[in-house]
């Protein structure tokens, strides 16, 4: 049985992951609106990955005989100033998520909940990758600046991103 404090914190995190999915779908819509279909595709993959993150937490609460409570997903931004702005906002958002995961991890230590702590290790590693991905694209954009061929090439490259289901969901029966 899950400790109530941990259960509540994971339910909050489920909502945050769903908000992240919604945010990235909004970023995909923005990229489509400025003709960057490869970048839009990259954000559509990101949208699916965030839903996976929410589902991993959902499954875990059920597995521990806890109660999932889904709450309203807040509105998300819809406009950005530029491609660079959208990726910088992505990095900033992922840094906030990293801080939230770290706080959740710290709570499991306080509450001696080592099963939840073990489950969260996947998220700790995932956040390193999430921040690195956004940072790499920002670095590329800073080199390219407004070079049309550079933007065109990066758009093609990002459009090749493929979705793979998150590993913790692979053997899940839920
Ligand atoms: Fe669920 Fe992008 O972290």
* CA 105 – CA 27 distance, rounded (Å): 29
pLDDT confidence bin for 83, thresholds 50/70/90:
very high
What mean pLDDT do residues 6-31 have?
A: 98
Residue 8 has pLDDT above 90, yes or no: yes
Token pair listed for 126: 């995932």
Residue 173 has pLDDT above 90, yes or no: no
Residue spans of the domains in the chain: they are 4-165
Query: Please, where are the H alpha helices in the chain?
Result: 4-33, 37-63, 83-110, 114-144, 148-159, 167-170
Which atom of ligand 1 lies nearest, measured to the CA of 46? 2
Residue 171 has pLDDT above 80, yes or no: no
Q: Output DSSP code: residue 73.
A: P
Answer for the pair 15, 73: CB distance below 8 angstroms, yes or no.
yes
What mean pLDDT do residues 47-70 have?
A: 98
What mean pLDDT do residues 16-37 have?
A: 98
Tell me the CA–centroid distance for residue 24 and ligand 1, in Å. 10
> How far from chain centre, in Å, is Cα 57?
13
Length of the chain equals 174
pLDDT, one tens digit per residue, over 94-141 is 999 999 999 999 999 999 999 999 999 999 999 999 999 999 999 999
Any atom of ligand 1 within 6 Å of the Cβ of 44:
no
How confident is the model at residue 174, as a pLDDT? 79
Percent of the chain's residues with pLDDT above 70: 100
Any atom of ligand 1 within 6 Å of the Cβ of 17:
yes
Cα–Cα distances in Å, from 133 out to 20, 121, 126? 16, 19, 11
User: What HEC string does 41-71 produce?
Assistant: HHHHHHHHHHHHHHHHHHHHHHHCCCCCCCC
How confident is the model at residue 172, as a pLDDT? 82
User: What is the CATH number that goes with domain 4-165?
Assistant: 1.20.1260.10
**Whole-number mean pLDDT of the chain?**
97
Tell me the CA–centroid distance for residue 98 and ligand 1, in Å. 8
Tell me the CA–centroid distance for residue 34 and ligand 1, in Å. 24
pLDDT confidence bin for 53, thresholds 50/70/90:
very high
Residue 69 has pLDDT above 90, yes or no: yes
What mean pLDDT do residues 91-95 have?
A: 98
């Amino acid at each position: 049985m899950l400790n109530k404090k941990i259960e509540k914190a994971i339910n909050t995190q489920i909502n945050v992951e769903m908000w992240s999915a919604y945010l990235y779908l909004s970023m995909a819509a923005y990229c489509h609106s400025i003709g960057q279909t490869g970048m839009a595709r990259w954000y559509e993959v990101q949208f699916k990955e965030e839903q996976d993150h929410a589902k991993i937490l959902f499954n875990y609460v059920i597995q521990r005989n806890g109660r999932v409570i889904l709450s309203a997903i807040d509105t998300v931004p819809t406009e950005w100033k530029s491609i660079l702005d959208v990726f910088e906002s992505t990095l900033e958002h992922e840094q906030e998520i990293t801080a939230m995961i770290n706080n959740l991890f710290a709570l499991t230590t306080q509450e001696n909940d080592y099963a939840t702590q073990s489950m969260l290790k996947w998220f700790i590693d995932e956040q390193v990758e999430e921040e690195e991905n956004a940072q790499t694209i920002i670095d590329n954009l800073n080199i390219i600046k407004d070079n049309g061929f550079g933007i065109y090439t990066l758009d093609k490259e990002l459009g090749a991103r493929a979705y793979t289901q998150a590993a913790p969901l692979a053997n899940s029966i839920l």
